[in-house]
Structure 1
Amino acid sequence: MCRNIRPLSNFEPPATRDEVTAAALQFVRKVTGTTKPSQANEEAFHRAVAEIAHITEHLLDGWVTAAPPKNREEEAAKARARAQLRYGA
């Protein structure tokens, strides 16, 4: 369920709000054990996603590193190469 949570720090360009929200959604889904909450829990579910996304943006804004920014295309190519080695074809 959490395969979609990707590292978001130190990229050029920086992570978008959509990427941060997608990671927050995956986190809340993992913690709650559901992909779609019941009507009784829907408000709490969406509030948690919004709050976690907000806090994550603050974390990323304050994150300091001396490493050079990573390139999204290069990182995606590395991930594809690892997947090909792992799964073949």
Structure 2
Amino acid sequence: MLHNFEPPATDDEVEAAAIQYVRKVSGTTRPSQANEEAFDEAVRAVMAATQHLLESLVTKAPPRDREVEAAKAKARAAERYGNRAAASG
């Protein structure tokens, strides 16, 4: 999730999300040389769409704190996967 954080999502976070999406859709973590240009173009397009979306969303909720949300995610992972997830975080 990238919406409604203080400070706002960085370009690196938006890019990481775009790469994750394109990898998921394409079914590959690293495109072949023949598909690299299409992969990179898709990442740029998803980044632009994501940035536009984040800039357009409106909320009345107070911004989330990154550290608090990270702690919640770590606790959920520990509950879901046991202590090994908490130990690796």
Q: Same fold (TM over 0.5)?
A: yes
Deviation, structure 1 residue 29: 0.3
Where has structure 1 moved over 6 Å in runs of 4 or more?
none
The CA deviation at 1:24 is 0.3
Name the count of aligned residue pairs.
Answer: 83
Structural mapping, 1:28-67, within 5 Å:
28-67=22-61
CA distance in 1, matches of 2:32, 2:14: 24
1:79 equivalent among 62, 73, 80: 73
| Residue in structure 2 matched with residue 3 of structure 1 by the alignment | none
Question: Structure 2: which 5+ runs fail to align?
Answer: 84-89
1 or 2, which has the higher helix percentage? 2
Q: TM-score, normalised by structure 2?
A: 0.91
Partners of 2:82 and 2:25 in 1: CA distance: 32
Give unmatched runs, 5+ long, in structure 1.
Answer: 1-6
Task: Tell me the C-alpha RMSD between the 2 structures.
Answer: 0.6
